Amino acid sequence: MNGISATFTWKDVNPQEDKYEWSKIDNLLKLAKEHDKSVILRISTAGSDLESMSDTPDWVIESDVKTLSFKDPAGKDHKMPIFWDSTYLAKWSNFVQDLGARYDKNPAIHSIGITRGGVEGGPLVVPELNVPINKENSKALET
């Protein structure tokens, strides 16, 4: 085994605007370096932490960012940002720049798996919803 893929939620890493909690990532990178391993670092904005309302920080969700509401397989309510919303993109861009400034050239990082959205940071852009997505009900999905 050459390393590990680790997912952190944006909410955990950036709990308040301009405040970061890098310690979990830092500790993982230190441990990886000590064992001559590498890390694929992933940041999730939706669908990873089903115990909370969103992987996106509350301060983002509570701003003017458009969101989409959905239920997980257990029926619990969640929200995720609409990824093309300009306010969301500005906040996400600020986070990505700060993440890059901190971890660019870190030898323990193999790569950073990051997108502007998607469930668990991946290509599934919209979680399974209880209503079909079409032009007629698209506005009803936004909250």
Helix/strand/coil (H/E/C) assignment for every residue in the chain: CCEEEEEEEHHHHCCECCECCCHHHHHHHHHHHHCCCEEEEEEECECCCCCCCCCCCHHHHCCCCCEEEEECCCCCEEEEECCCCHHHHHHHHHHHHHHHHHHCCCCCEEEEECCCCCECCCCCCCCCCCCCCCCCCHHHHEC
pLDDT digits (tens, 9 = 90+) for 99-136: 999 999 999 999 988 764 555 545 455 555 555 555 55
**pTM for this entry:** 0.80
pLDDT digits (tens, 9 = 90+) for 16-69: 999 999 999 999 999 999 999 999 999 988 877 778 888 999 999 999 899 988
